[in-house]
Amino acid sequence: MMEGTAVPIMKLALLSDIHANLRALDACVAHASRSGATRFALLGDLVGYGPQPALVVRRIREMAGAGAIVLKGNHDEMAVSPPATAQALGEIGAAWTNAQLTPADLAYLDGLPLTNTQGAVHLVHASADSPHRWHYVTNEQQAAASMDAACEDPAVRYVFGGHVHEQTLYFMTATHKLMRFVPTPGVPIPLPGSRRWLATVGSVGQPRDGNPQAMYAMFDLARAELTFHRVPYDHFAVATDLRATGLPEFFAKRMEEGR
Amino acid sequence: MKMLEPGTTIDGFTVGECLHAGGMAHIYRVRYSDETMREPFPMAMKVPRMTGGDGAENIVGFEVERQILPALTGSHVPRFVAAGDLNQLPYIVMEYIQGQTLQHRLDESSEPIAPVEIARLGAAIAQSVHSLHLQNTCHLDLKPANVLMRPDGSAVLLDFGLSCHAHYPDLLAEEMRLAVGSPVWIAPEQVVGVRGDPRSDIFAIGVMLYELGTRELPFGNPQTKGGMRQRLWMDAPPPRKWRPDLPEWLQEVILRCLESEAAKRYPSAAHLAFDLSHPDQIQVTGRGKRTQSTGFWRHFKRWLRAAGMHYEPSPLPSRQIDEVPIVMVAVPHYEVSDATLYSLRQAVSRSLGTRPGAQLACVTVIDSGSTSSSDSANSETAVHRRYLGMLRQWAQPLDLSGRAVSFHVLESGDVAQALLRYAAGNQVSVIVMGAATHGLQMQRLLATVPIKVAMDAPCTVILVKQALPFEQLATSRAA
């Protein structure tokens, strides 16, 4: 922004809820790399629902080796120890996912941390308010709980998470109230560090808002700008892959419709 | 707040003279400290006052401007250069633009300003505001001190501390929930906390035009919430009450801007600029003719209604403007078939859409040699009257259901150039023209007119192919 001064440019790509969807992950990683990402953060739920858990875990382990931050999500936890009697769809999927993964993969998922703090940025899969309880952040009150917990570290200004599969931005007003804002994809939003911000970055592998395009967000630390992205990819191919797995038809149908 | 000493260096900028020491901020000339860096344009640094008694409002205002200014483009806003951190030294470096603010203009002389000059200023301001609205931003603090007139007559908008950008979280949405704005110019919906309606800016332009025309403030300078709420129901006294020589068309424009219901104002700043650029085409209603203030009983009834008045939050400003296009149709006036004229009418009806508020400008271009100063039958007025009559006749079958329509005869040797210039100058949203008209005779040469227009137009161009319903009937019968 300021000409002539050499600000180290750092762009953090925020990818969450990949859900064993390698095509969506590849599309987002390629998009982020083209947009100048210098570091990747995978905010949990690497597996569950999707057709390619083993390939996705392998790819993410490679990324971690190259410096990516990787967090654990509730589906990763469920894949490690699937419930004995599956009831919900996610639980049926968890047993299948568990069977696809090697003991080394499962140990990797089991060992993932729940949170990560990089200076002013706090990363968590669900809510920073007891991360292991996987609280959903869907409104101002829940966002405030997460932000308050994260900001016990006074350096923290930004809380980024996933879990809810939607792209939303919350910001703290001067009167300490939280406001909710629905972003327009592709528009960089300035997030001045004079305030505190919380964003849910959406889901890479399983959007549920009727638009099958993959979601992720990019945080430009030098400019303090957050951009939410939607990335088109061949989601029909993922539905085909899902049908080949023998998982319930619902999974494939949902993938086709983005619901 | 302490003033910065000339020669002080801040983040690579060297501070020069203080240009303005206001209640909200100090503004200094600055240049790059590094002499080898070339300045792309003159620069100014704005340093908000935010110590001691200067309230939280200034801080939020700085944050908002810091957020919005870098996103804005075009010649109607100062270009953003750099900003300092709020927690260290807050400042914004931006383009320094030569010119005079409207406030200076009002202060330097109390001589009445000629109506044509008011219209010229108003049109320039409305154009600058329209360019802002197209970028999904509402200024929401328009006042003479925030409008700078360049020497070339165009307007530049300053101070985005209370503005609202539809793509960014509104940092002011919650803080000072009610009445964010300057009491003199604030629109009624802003008084009740609605932010982001482009028509709020139209209201503020109306207040400025009122000031320029009468040197009076239409609603005074209320200091209380109750005083500001008055504009939810109260009409401004007609400007002609203060200045009877003010033309009716100008009062019509001003009072339309000042309607307390946003839906009764101009639907977009482009429409306002259009009227101010063509005063002869303004339909003067009772609004323009009044010389007496609204009576007690009328106001009383409106006051009762205002108690329950409810303003709808507006959608995206650019979308709101899209719904009220200014449609321009180029109507050829010679060697033109009925089929073409018919098809043009059909296309125009479709382009005007179904919503009220669209405006139609019917334009024809005549050769600059067609008028004569010596021959009375071919005098400019006579020739123009003839072509205006032709345009009216063409438009007659159109169902305009109350939409504004105007007629324009342009004189030029270059048809495409004339149409393009007209479209750009009037913020036209859609140009409708024949695909193969404007000179069937010289097809090879002149068929390029639509192509030229389509290539260089600042907006959408609809090229209409001629098709008469009865011609199609004939072919289908033959088949």
**What is the DSSP code string of B285-325?**
-HHHH--SPPPHHHHHHHHHHHHT--PPPP--HHHHHHTS-
Token pair, residue B100, equals 């005079």
Segment B112-119 shows an average pLDDT of 96
* CATH number of domain containing A206: 3.60.21.10
Range(s) of the domain holding residue A67: 11-253
Nearest to A194 among B86, B167, B173 (CB): B86
- Using left for φ > 0, alpha for ψ between -120 and 50, and beta otherwise, residue B15 falls in beta
Q: How far apart are CA B346 and CA B331, in angstroms?
A: 13
Q: pLDDT at position B223, please?
A: 83
- Alpha-carbon distances of B377 from A231, B53, B411, rounded to whole Å: 66, 72, 17
- Asked if the model's pLDDT at residue B243 lies above 50, the reply is yes
Segment B7-28 shows an average pLDDT of 90
Q: Which has the minimum average pLDDT: B139-153, B281-295, B458-472?
A: B458-472
Nearest to A171 among B37, B86, B169 (CB): B169
Contact A181 B11 (CB under 8 A): no
Secondary structure, 3-state, B90-111: CCEEEECCCCEEHHHHHHHCCC
Nearest to A190 among B67, B170, B174 (CB): B67
Contact A192 B175 (CB under 8 A): no
Q: How far apart are CA A241 and CA A255, in angstroms?
A: 10
Tell me, yes or no, whether A123 lies in a domain: yes
Mutation target vs A (from B168, B170, B316, B318; most A CBs, 10 A cutoff) = B168
Q: Which residues of A touch B167 (CB under 8 A)?
A: 183-184, 187, 189
Instruction: Please give the helix or strand (H or E) that residue B62 lies within, else none.
Output: helix B56-68
Q: How far apart are CA B341 and CA B458, in angstroms?
A: 24
- Asked if the model's pLDDT at residue B440 lies above 50, the reply is no
Residue B318 near residue B197, CB atoms below 8 Å: no
Q: pLDDT at position B157, please?
A: 98
Tell me, yes or no, whether A237 lies in a domain: yes
Contact A173 B169 (CB under 8 A): no
Tell me, yes or no, whether A1 lies in a domain: no
Tell me, yes or no, whether A176 lies in a domain: yes
Residues in chain A: 259
Q: pLDDT at position B315, please?
A: 65
Q: pLDDT at position B473, please?
A: 53
Residue B308 banded pLDDT, cuts 50, 70, 90: low
B354 min Cα distance to partner chain A (Å): 28
Q: How far apart are CA B257 and CA B201, in angstroms?
A: 9
Tell me, yes or no, whether A22 lies in a domain: yes
Angle at A83 between CA A80 and CA A89, to 5 degrees: 100
Q: Which residues of B touch A193 (CB under 8 A)?
A: 85-87
In total, how many domains does chain A have?
Answer: 1
Segment A149-155 shows an average pLDDT of 92
Token pair, residue B472, equals 């199609």
Tell me, yes or no, whether A3 lies in a domain: no
Q: pLDDT at position A244, please?
A: 95
Contacts of B186 (CB under 8 A, 6+ apart): B179, B200, B204, B228, B231
Q: Which residues of A touch B175 (CB under 8 A)?
A: 173-175
Q: pLDDT at position B55, please?
A: 58
Segment B201-222 shows an average pLDDT of 95
Tell me, yes or no, whether A5 lies in a domain: no
- Asked if the model's pLDDT at residue A8 lies above 80, the reply is no
- Asked if the model's pLDDT at residue B402 lies above 90, the reply is no
Token pair, residue A214, equals 């993959």
CA–centroid distance for A174 within its chain: 28
- Asked if the model's pLDDT at residue B464 lies above 70, the reply is yes
B92 min Cα distance to partner chain A (Å): 11
A67 min Cα distance to partner chain B (Å): 30
Contact B175 A174 (CB under 8 A): yes
Q: Give which of B280, B298, B292 is closest to B385, Cα–Cα.
A: B280
Segment B316-334 shows an average pLDDT of 86
Q: Which has the minimum average pLDDT: A59-73, A205-219, B345-359?
A: B345-359
B32 forms beta bridges with B13
Name the residue in chain B with its Cα closest to that of A181: B169
- Asked if the model's pLDDT at residue A239 lies above 50, the reply is yes
Identify the residue with better confidence: B353 or A234. Answer: A234
Q: pLDDT at position B312, please?
A: 63
Residue B413 near residue B367, CB atoms below 8 Å: yes
Residue A188 near residue A231, CB atoms below 8 Å: no
Residue A186 banded pLDDT, cuts 50, 70, 90: very high
Residue A5 banded pLDDT, cuts 50, 70, 90: very low
Contact A193 B67 (CB under 8 A): no
Q: pLDDT at position B350, please?
A: 86
Strand A225-231 with A214-220, pairing? antiparallel
Residue B177 banded pLDDT, cuts 50, 70, 90: low
Segment B275-281 shows an average pLDDT of 95
- Asked if the model's pLDDT at residue B310 lies above 90, the reply is no
Segment B162-170 shows an average pLDDT of 92
Q: Which has the minimum average pLDDT: A108-112, B209-213, B340-344?
A: B340-344
Tell me, yes or no, whether A199 lies in a domain: yes
Q: pLDDT at position B352, please?
A: 84
Q: Give which of B320, B327, B230, B246 is closest to B288, Cα–Cα.
A: B246
